[in-house]
Amino acid sequence: MDLAHEGFLRLRSRVDLASHLGIEYVNTGIGVTADQQEIERFYREFDALLAYAEKRGVKIGLESHAGMTETAVATLALCRKLGRPNVGLNYDTANMRFYTGLDPIADLASCDEKELRQRLFHVHIKDHRGGKYNWDFPPLGEGEVDFKRLVALFDRIGYSGPCSLEIQFYGPGTTDPTPEMIDAGIVASYRFMRDIGLGD
């Protein structure tokens, strides 16, 4: 079995689990390829998967990664091409910045607000420091993502969907953070989220 097909089978099983548990959203990445046959195959197989998920009341969010989902603008264009109502964005503020070097809030703000409101399913609240391809994802408030502008954008478009805190710290070749660093990062990030209106 090839890896792409196995990936679709695994995602289908996650759709089944989500449906069984009454969970509305499943998030995934889609990988990167320049091979036109692989791209055409992706459209065929993903369309079938979306149809399967739609019957089970499950929406699929595409995470911000390299390739066709690098930006919100690109992901929305892909959603329009796919043409299904149950596919949208799992927007990762730091990944977008990491892969493009661009401002994630400006990216979101450049989208059609009505379309963004309909297609923004989930947001990874993650900070980033440095330029393109710089692997540095610190606790919230220690990086360069402007989360206050993000909250203002959420207010403007009426987004009240799920947000997940994510901290990846430093990249390969570095020492793993200690449990104390992880705990402190989570506490500081939660306080930061609460202070800007993203936490309870």
The average confidence (pLDDT) of the chain is 92
Residue with tokens 């607000």: 113
Q: For 155, how many CA atoms within 13 A lie in the half-sphere containing its CB?
A: 9
Looking at the DSSP bridge assignments, the partners of residue 86 are none
Identify whether the C-beta of residue 136 lies closer than 8 Å to the C-beta of residue 168: no
Q: What is the pLDDT of residues 71-93, one digit of tens each?
A: 999 999 999 999 999 999 999 99
The per-residue pLDDT for 179 is 86
CA dist 54 to 19, 25, 49, 93, 110, Å?
10, 11, 9, 27, 28
Which residue spans within the chain are E strands per DSSP?
A: 25-28, 59-63, 87-92, 120-125, 136-137, 163-165, 169-170
CATH ID of 3-195, from 3.40.190.10, 3.20.20.150, 3.40.605.10, 3.40.50.720: 3.20.20.150
Give tens-digit pLDDT for 29-64. 988 888 889 889 999 999 999 999 999 999 999 999
Q: Tell me the pTM.
A: 0.91
* Placement of tokens 């990664």 in the chain: 65
**Measured distance CA(30)–CA(64) in Å, rounded:** 9
User: What local confidence, expressed as pLDDT, does residue 175 receive?
Assistant: 75
